[in-house]
Chain A
Amino acid sequence: MKESSAFLAMHIHRRVARTLLLVGVVMFLGNLTWAADDAITIGIVMPTTGREAKPGLYQKEGIELAIKQINDQGGIMVKEKGKKLPVKTVFYDNGSDSAKAASLVERAMSSDHVTAVIGGYSTALAEAESVMPDRYKIPWLTGGAAATSIYSRGYKYIFGCLSPIALLGSTTAEFLGNLADQGKLKKGLKIALVVENTDHGVDYVAGVQDWIGKHPGYFTVVLNEKFDLGGTDFSGLLQKVKTAKADIFLSDAHLQDYITMQRQYLQAGLHHQVISYGARGPEADARKALGAGTDYILAALWWSDKLPYAQVQKFVADYKQMYNRGPDSWYAATAYDAMRILAKSIEAAGSTDGTKIRDALSKAELKGALIPGGVLKFGANGQAGYPFLVTQNKPEDKVDIVFPKDAATGPPVAPIP
């Protein structure tokens, strides 16, 4: 008798425990739904480990600064909810791995139900990620990928805040043409093109050659070579550069390759009238690794903290306050603008529906953007198209904007002494 009542008590306890567990789960899920309804969740997919970790971290910081400022003002007004909603983030580290980057974007859009994703540093990772947004009809923005191939596949839900790499190449060539017009360089100089074997590099070469083709007599390309990302020994390649007897050395490289190649370039005793590594040049890591070895290197950039706009100076001050250091190169600024134009578009859409936000993004115009020209908007293919600026490293860690003239902070030095 005693045993059977104990068994009954245990049975009842189990049933109560199960019921309580069920109630708990339902309440938890309900709470989750409620929380999701009361905030806008943005997925951030960036590399904070692996070879792209540093720029990825800067981009993440730029996005988080923008979100902090948006939340400090109460969040984003969403008309269909009738109130301002705060912005929450879910962060995913893709480890600089393309396959992981694509699967994380998919996870953000499918199981984590984010409103939009900001990702896509760098080109290779962005290419992998960009196949997902149209599948889930959720907008995806990038402040770190500019290769034209990403935006030429007809996707409707992808938006890029960087001007095309081809424009980077043609701006560099245009600047060199300008130097030739000023008499600082002679016309007819020979160019050696040495670029990374990615779409980024291919677009860069296309941009340079496009300008040269449209402006005959200025320059000729005598060497056009590609190298693999993450190279360690460039002595064979630099021997080709030496043999080509070019006057101008134009490369397009990621940060670590830029440091390694420039070091070996100097050790090989090479010298050209102009040196550029595409969008690399003024990074603090490179200056630390090479000292005066980075002096006079030109870089065509999407942004510089020297831009004479009030919003740029405010951004730099806010960034310093939040992270106790200034922004290193352009990475954080374009990601910051990506988040701001997304917030503006959510507000314009008045909804957290992916398609409505997409429609708003395609018409959006962010005035007071940090980029050259101060206005960010997307073209028909989803990619922005604003002018580049050219910077030049000067001795004692100084960096000047040298092109365009109206933003210049110092004169260009060419040929390199």
Chain B
Amino acid sequence: MTATDYLDLLIKSLLLAGIYAAMAVGMTAIYGVMKIVNLAHAGFLMLGAYFAYELFERFHLDPILGAMLALPVFFLFGMAVHWLLVRWLPKSDTPTLASLLLMFGFWLVLQNIGYLVWGNTAYSIFTPRSLASVRFGEISIPKDKLIVFAAAVVSLIVLQIVFARSWFGRSMRSLIQNPYAAAIVGVDDQKTARLSFAVGTAFAGFAGALLAILFPFTPDFGASFQLRAFVIIVLGGLESVSGVALGALILALLETFSINVPLPLYWHGWKFVYLPSSYQPAVSFVLLVVALLVLPKGIAGLLERKWRVA
């Protein structure tokens, strides 16, 4: 491979990281405040994909605009799901079995609703830019991936600003840091939890709509992304937007480069071998295990520790 090929791969990894980060950030918002591992995340991604599809098919609305519209719609949907189901869960500082089962069950319900409404056809959104690319010499960048990346990055920056500057963001961070102290100083934990769940759902719907621009989807869409989202938030630290961005970047880089960079192997002497492409999905599993064993607070936690020491 030439240097241009590596640069090409690096750009594609960055684009992939943007998509991964947008997909995982909703899960982080919910986990951070409520300590709920949202196993229905894949269901929200799937609904977001169909939401963009319906707007595109019925009203010829550009899927990027559809994704923007998904934010308020899924925010309200998240509020409703919280009011209907999630608020009844017992409070806990750690994920509970009840929350896992509830969200997993809700995912199955969403999937089956998907089958009832849309059947099992593999839908896709095909626009004039679906197959178009921007070319820089040997390097080819898909237009739709570029647009999705830009939308994802902008949304992450906005979310980071909201978390850092707004009343809601301060409440949220205080609950993440110490829920008891937050309660003493008057933070309304129920209201913050409801809003956090709604924000998480809104971003899942938004990400689902963006993913629909890139991939075909059926009602079981989202399962493979859900695993990646989980790896990313474990890797990035379970409670921060910047950690998610970092986790997404690491996963995307490793997935893309692991099969294209020769790895040293000692077998009757040193030699360089390429990892077979079929091992690519194992990268996320290995990362998950490593992160859980070595970096239980994620890379963000590690960096924080280093700063404190310094």
A residues with CB within 8 A of B: 48-51, 53-54, 56-57, 96, 194, 197, 225-228, 230-233, 235-237, 239-240, 242-243, 255-256, 259-260, 263-264, 266-269, 285, 288-291, 293
Chain B interfacial residues counted at CB < 8 A: 41
User: Are A289 and B122 within 8 A (Cβ)?
Assistant: yes
Asked, given contacts A259-B122, A289-B126, whether A236 binds B259 with beta carbons under 8 Å apart, the answer is: yes
Contact, CB under 8 Å: A228 / B280:
yes
Verify A51–B218 contact, CB threshold 8 A.
Answer: yes
* Contact between chains at B276 and A235 (CB < 8 Å): no
| Smallest Cβ-Cβ distance to A201: which chain B residue | B278
Whether a CB of chain A sits under 8 angstroms from the CB of B5 is yes
Tell me, rounded to whole Å, the shortest Cβ–Cβ distance linking A241 to chain B: 10
In chain B, what residue has the closest Cβ to A293?
Answer: B131
Check A269 against B256 for contact (C-beta < 8 Å). no
Question: Is B177 interfacial (CB 8 A cutoff)?
Answer: no
Residues of the B chain whose Cβ atoms lie less than 8 Å from the Cβ of A239: 1, 5, 8-9, 12, 256, 260
Name B1-47 residues within 8 Å CB distance of A: 1, 5, 8-9, 12, 16
Query: Taking CB as reference atom, which chain B residue is nearest A47?
Result: B120
Cα–Cα, bound, A232→B145 (Å): 13
Interface residues of B (CB under 8 A from A): 1, 5, 8-9, 12, 16, 115, 120-122, 124, 126, 130-133, 135, 140, 142, 144-145, 214-216, 218-220, 224-225, 255-260, 274, 276-278, 280-281
Roughly how many angstroms separate A49 CA and B111 CA in the complex, as a whole number?
Answer: 10
**Closest Cβ of chain A: how far from B208's Cβ, in Å?**
13
Q: Given A233-B255, A243-B5, A289-B124 in contact, is the A263-B277 Cβ separation under 8 Å?
A: no
Other A-B pairs, 4, CB within 8 Å; known A233-B16, A236-B256: A236-B280, A256-B122, A260-B216, A267-B132
Say how far A359's CB is from chain B's closest CB, in angstroms.
37
The 12 listed contacts between A and B (C-beta, < 8 Å) are: A51-B220, A96-B220, A225-B277, A227-B277, A231-B280, A235-B12, A235-B16, A236-B256, A239-B9, A243-B5, A289-B122, A291-B131
Closest Cβ neighbor of B145 among chain A residues: A267
Which residue of B has the minimal Cβ distance to A53? B120
Report yes or no: A242 in contact with B280, Cβ–Cβ below 8 A. Answer: no
* CB of A16, distance to nearest CB on chain B (Å): 44
- Nearest-neighbour CB distance to chain B for A235, whole angstroms, equals 4
- Cα of A231 to Cα of B260 in the assembled complex, Å: 17
CB-CB under 8 A from B214, the residues of chain A are 263
Provide the bound-state CA to CA distance between A231 and B281, in Å: 8
Asked whether, in the complex, the Cβ of A268 is within 8 Å of the Cβ of B140, the reply is yes
Are B1's CB and A243's CB within 8 A? Answer: yes
Contact of B135 among A49, A53, A57, A269 (CB under 8 A): A269
- Given contacts A233-B16, A263-B131, are A225 and B220 in contact (CB under 8 A)? no
> How long is the Cα–Cα vector from A260 to B131 in the complex, in angstroms?
11
Given contacts A51-B218, A197-B278, A225-B276, A236 and B135 within 8 Å (CB-CB): no
Which residues of B lie under 8 Å from residue A259 when comparing CB positions? 122, 124, 216
Q: Are A240 and B259 in contact (CB under 8 A)?
A: yes
A225 in contact with B278 given A236-B9, A239-B8 (CB within 8 Å)? yes
A411 to B216, CA, bound (A): 31
Distance, CA A407 to CA B215, complexed state (A): 35
Residue on B nearest A259 in the bound complex, by CB: B216
Task: Check if A226 sits within 8 Å of B220, measured CB to CB.
Answer: no
Return chain B residues, CB-CB under 8 Å to A268: 133, 140, 142
- Indicate if the CB atoms of B280 and A49 lie closer than 8 Å: no
Of the candidates B8, B126, B130, B278, the one having the most CB atoms from chain A within 10 angstroms of its own CB is: B278
Q: By the criterion CB–CB under 8 Å, are A54 and B133 in contact? A: no
Q: Which 8 A-B pairs have the closest CB atoms?
A: A53-B120, A289-B124, A267-B142, A226-B278, A269-B140, A197-B278, A235-B12, A236-B256
Verify B216–A291 contact, CB threshold 8 A: no
Contact assessment for B12 and A263 in the assembled complex, using a CB-CB cutoff below 8 Å? no
B274 to chain A, nearest CB (A): 8
Chain A neighbourhood of B260, CB < 8 A: 236, 239-240, 243
Contact A264 B216 (CB under 8 A): no
A235 to B12, CA, bound (A): 7
Q: Complex Cα distance A257/B140, Å?
A: 21
Least CB distance from B71 to A in Å reads: 23
| Residue on B nearest A270 in the bound complex, by CB | B140
Of chain B, the residue at the smallest CB distance from A233 is B16
Report the separation of the CA atoms of residues A49 and B115 in the bound assembly, to the nearest whole angstrom: 7
Decide if B277 touches A236 in the complex (CB within 8 Å).
Answer: yes
Q: Looking at the complex, which one of A240, A267, A291 makes contact with B133 (CB distance below 8 Å)?
A: A267
Do A267 and B131 have beta carbons less than 8 Å apart? yes
Q: Which residues of B contact A235 (CB under 8 A)?
A: 9, 12, 16, 256
A-side contacts of B122, CB under 8 Å: 54, 255-256, 259, 285, 289
* B6 to A: closest C-beta gap in Å: 9
Please report the C-alpha to C-alpha distance between residue A264 and residue B215 in the assembled complex, in whole angstroms. Answer: 10
> How far, in angstroms, from A268 to B132 measured CA to CA in the complex?
9
